Structure 1
Amino acid sequence: MVDLCILGTLGGMPMIDRFMSSTLINVNGRKILIDCGEGTQVAMRKTGWGFKSLDIICITHSHGDHTVGLPGLLSTIGNSGRTEKLTIIGPPGITNIVNGLNVINPYLPYELNIVENTNDTINFHINNNNICLCENKNKSNFSLSSLELEHSTNCIGYSFYFKRKAKFSVEKAIKNNIPKALWNKLQNNETVIFENNKYYPYMVLDNERKGIKISYITDTRPTKNIPSFIKDSDLFICEGTYGNDIDIEKAIKNCHMTFSEAATLAKEGNCKELILTHFSPALSDPNNFLINATNIFEKSIIADDGLTKNLKYFN
């Protein structure tokens, strides 16, 4: 089960009733934050999910409406008592951005692991203590992929895949003469050597079950690679800076999207649901233009600050 909260929904500048575009993912009590503009800390506090268990911060690009909240947030995380390493992922150049912003924090009680990542997949293992990098793909239970986008600076989109454990098969375990003492380790995807015999997880597990896929695309024009990147997403979160198609020239000039363009991507990517976010401050009520998306992709909704979704695994 994965919980998700849209913390903020604006691009450019915060308003009284909307913070900057950012999203928080909660999986097994551990947290992943996407973007960190002004107001992110306040929005996170409203969720009540805490700061100490935030393990990964994914930055789409360097613009201030996606990054200037970082130094304050990193300081607050330090004050929460965190000592485990925290990973920050972003496009090429993100190391300089983070170090520059973080100059006001001369000391943090935890290490920052900054990863510059484009067109790559990173594997992680989620446990009770943190989400840590995992070199062994077979032992990871969460993977993150990125895609280079089309904006006025280096910008990447993200796709998160939360794996589901393969179902344990008592029949297979008995058929393969697996000692009961080993069942739990094998079920947790560990290979075990016992009494000079080697036992593998596949000897007790059925086929892998479908996990949960969340894709996040913002600050870009539609590109030919996006539909395949977001393909079969359970949830597709996409920018909708402009609600009306008459603003297409502005969208092209500023490297953003209209509602209808985002909906077209969701349809082409065979996504289950689309959440529109990252609205222009000039868009006083995005709901007035929702029909421009639903006419193309019916399961489109407008994000409000604090919108929470609960995604469950299905057989």
Structure 2
Amino acid sequence: MIDVCLLGTGGMMPLPNRYLTALMVRYNGKCILIDCGEGTQIALKKSGWSPKPIDMICFTHYHADHISGLPGMLLTMGNAERTEPLLMVGPKGLERVVKALRTIAPELPFPIEYHEITDINDELTLPGMSEFKIKAFKVNHNITCYGYSMELERIGRFNVEAARANDIPQKYWNPLQKGEIIQAEDGRTFTPDMVLGEARKGIHLTYVTDSRPTPGIVEKAMNSDLFICEGMYGEPDKLQKAKENRHMTMYEAAELAKKAQVKEMWLTHYSPSLVNPKEYLPKAKEIFSKTVAAKDGRTTTLRFEEDNE
């Protein structure tokens, strides 16, 4: 299962009851933070989550409302006596931008590792978590910007009958179930496909902010269990402004969700002018009925299909 917490839902500037857009994802004891705008630390505290176990910070792009909270976050992590490396992921220029921000956070008790995205698509995993794929894909903003899709793969069921039919000693069953290839003492080789059925449906989460609608977003979000997408404007007269600034309206986001056949969509990254996003939700739900006007701190746990039954 994957725990998801939308820490903040604001765009451009934080408001008293709306922090800037940031997302926390937790799987198997590992935490990934996407974006770190002003107020992210307070949002974490209010949501009951901690900055100490953050293993990776991914940035969509380098506008201030998505990264200005980083120096304080790093200092807090350092004050919590963190010593293990922190991996940062983001568009080209990541190391230069982070080092500039670290002028006010120069001394940390942990090293920072950088993974700069230079292609249209990129894929990476955390150590020891090969089944959890993090896929970055380029979107259409007025500077280089990426969306992120996270996929938790699920292997097929273990087939005891097949293991016995292949005369595989029981001590090898668990390693095979984990995907290992076994070289037995008697010279035989055992592979996972000898004991596993077809792969089962995993969990798919997609996150997009600061972009015009693109076919690539639909492709990456296809069949997502949860699609978190910016709906910066709800007012009918803001479509042209959305086009000029390379953002999207709540209704354009709903069209993407419909085309991608996602299970549920959370709107986020609201303009400060959008005082009450729920006011415009009915029209968005006419396009995609499973649309939610998310608020700061909205949390869910995504589970495998069988676990939901």
TM range (shorter): over 0.9
- How far apart are 1:239 and its partner, in Å? 0.3
- How far apart are 1:62 and its partner, in Å? 0.3
- How far apart are 1:276 and its partner, in Å? 0.3
Counterpart in 1 of 2:34?
A: 34
- How far apart are 1:176 and its partner, in Å? 1.2
- How far apart are 1:165 and its partner, in Å? 3.5
- How far apart are 1:123 and its partner, in Å? 3.4
Output the CA distance in 2 between the equivalents of 1:152 and 1:292. Answer: 27
Q: Does 1:262 find its partner at 2:253?
A: yes
Q: Per-residue CA shift, 1:2-46, capped at 9, x if unaligned?
A: 111110000010011110011111112211111000000111122
Tell me whether 273-282 or 68-77 shows the greater mean CA deviation.
Answer: 68-77
Counterpart in 2 of 1:15?
A: 15
Output the CA distance in 2 between the equivalents of 1:166 and 1:72. Answer: 43
Letter matched to residue 98 of structure 1: V
Structure 2: 5+ residue stretches without partners: none
- How far apart are 1:285 and its partner, in Å? 0.4
- How far apart are 1:161 and its partner, in Å? 0.4
Letter matched to residue 110 of structure 1: F
Output the CA distance in 1 between the equivalents of 2:253 and 2:58. Answer: 21
Counterpart in 2 of 1:283?
A: 274
Report 1:137-286 matches (<5 A).
140-195=130-185, 196-286=187-277
Output the CA distance in 1 between the equivalents of 2:10 and 2:106. Answer: 30
Q: Per-residue CA shift, 1:246-274, capped at 9, x if unaligned?
A: 21111011111111100000011111111
Report the secondary structure of 2:287's partner residue: coil
Output the CA distance in 2 between the equivalents of 1:210 and 1:279. Answer: 32
Structure 1: 5+ residue stretches without partners: 125-130
Report 1:53-72 matches (<5 A).
53-72=53-72
Tell me whether 12-21 or 76-85 shows the greater mean CA deviation.
Answer: 76-85
Letter matched to residue 281 of structure 2: L
- How far apart are 1:48 and its partner, in Å? 2.4
- How far apart are 1:187 and its partner, in Å? 1.1
Counterpart in 1 of 2:102?
A: 102
Counterpart in 2 of 1:128?
A: none
Counterpart in 1 of 2:46?
A: 46
Output the CA distance in 2 between the equivalents of 1:302 and 1:35. Answer: 19
Report the secondary structure of 2:202's partner residue: strand
Output the CA distance in 1 between the equivalents of 2:135 and 2:12. Answer: 26
Calculate percent identity across the aligned residue pairs.
Answer: 44
Letter matched to residue 198 of structure 1: T
Output the CA distance in 1 between the equivalents of 2:200 and 2:238. Answer: 43
RMSD: 1.4
- How far apart are 1:175 and its partner, in Å? 1.2
Do 1:6 and 1:307's aligned partners in 2 also have CA atoms closer than 8 Å? yes
Do 2:155 and 2:198's aligned partners in 1 also have CA atoms closer than 8 Å? no
Letter matched to residue 101 of structure 2: L
Q: Per-residue CA shift, 1:57-90, capped at 9, x if unaligned?
A: 1100000000011111112112223222211111
Output the CA distance in 1 between the equivalents of 2:124 and 2:96. Answer: 24
Counterpart in 1 of 2:120?
A: 119
Letter matched to residue 70 of structure 2: L
- How far apart are 1:104 and its partner, in Å? 2.1
Using the size of structure 1 for normalisation, the TM-score is 0.93
- How far apart are 1:182 and its partner, in Å? 1.0
Using the size of structure 2 for normalisation, the TM-score is 0.95
Output the CA distance in 2 between the equivalents of 1:30 and 1:48. Answer: 16
- How far apart are 1:292 and its partner, in Å? 2.3
Report the secondary structure of 1:290's partner residue: helix
Do 1:243 and 1:292's aligned partners in 2 also have CA atoms closer than 8 Å? no
Output the CA distance in 2 between the equivalents of 1:140 and 1:123. Answer: 9
- How far apart are 1:227 and its partner, in Å? 0.9
Do 1:22 and 1:34's aligned partners in 2 also have CA atoms closer than 8 Å? yes
